[in-house]
Amino acid sequence: PAAVSRPLGSEADRVAETEFARARIEAWALLPSLLPHAPAPDVNEALRFLLSSLAAADSDLPEAVRLCGAVAVFAAALIRRETGQPPLAPDPCRAHSADFLHMCRGAAVTAAEIAAIDAYLTTVAEHGMNASSYAARVIASTRAGLIWAAIGGFCALTGPLHGGAPGPVLDMLDRIGTADRAEPWLSEAIEQGERLMGFGHRIYRTRDPRADILKAQLAGLPHAAESRAALAEQVESTALRILSARYPDRSLDTNVEFYTALLLDALQIPRAAFTAVFAVGRMAGWTAHALEQERTGRLIRPASRYIGPVPVAA
């Protein structure tokens, strides 16, 4: 069907927010019996456990809506657990992004912070046939069900080459420490064959446009440390220069994960939960891909070709 353009704030948006609010409330009702059994301290493993519980819970909401609401409630509860605090109930009167940040933080959040988390969740919601979305489509093609397809997508996301890189970006900045150490540290890392997290992309042969969207959101955040922002800019410019000189035939530019790390850190999200927050945004994309694949009615079954050594006759 042809795409339909409609303004934000339309009746369809209000209906969607109402359904998302119901989904958050339903997920919250499940939490007391589930959270004590969620694995610790691994946030990703705990989130996978909590999401899998939806398969046994009854609801009259569409499964895609249930998943989008539940992942926000579950991720926020795990973030609170990570910081030694009890979970906070969702507020059905708040918009989805704003309520997620309130459930994470508890304390009052600013309009700039709400705009930043909304921009982040929207920016990462969908990005074509990436590894996790393809994994979700493969599972959906077997008719295993939407919940299992989404969980499969999340499991793929946890790999360090896909959604697991933002945390290591901050680890890298911590190890570098000061702007004057950027050049020697990065040069040595590249000489030793280390992969610089936050640079390079399988699709883009230029700067990841999502990086600039997130970078623009940092300016108005009250907890964005100027010292870390200055260090990040120095590391970014130095890394790009060194990578360009070392690999002139390759395009290794800044990707979305570099500024994801800085943005989520400024929003006071613990780095162990960065991948879980990515999942809060990407859940919409996984479920959309899975639903689309289900409608095709076709099983994904790629062919393969053996390229190993020719067997030697006995």
Q: Which residues are catalytic?
A: 201, 257
Q: Residue 107 — left, alpha, or beta (φ > 0 → left; ψ -120 to 50 → alpha)? A: beta
- Across 228-260, b (16+ Cβ under 10 Å) vs e yields bbebbebbbebbbebbeeeeeeeebbbbbbbbb
Residue type, 21: A
Can you tell me whether residue 72 is helix, strand or coil? helix
Peptide bond preceding 309 in cis form (omega within 30 of 0): no
* Helical axes 274-296 vs 43-52, angle rounded to 10°: 40
- Give the C-alpha separation, 218 to 206, whole Å: 22
- H helix count then E strand count, the chain: 13, 0
Cα 290–chain centre separation:
17
Can you tell me whether residue 199 is helix, strand or coil? strand
> CA angle, 88 as apex, 86 and 89 as ends, to 5°?
140
- What is the sign of the dihedral through the CA atoms of 155, 157, 160 and 166? negative
Q: Structure tokens of 159?
A: 């790999």
- Across 147-185, b (16+ Cβ under 10 Å) vs e yields bbbbbbbbbbbbeeebbbbbbbbbebbeebeeeeebbeb
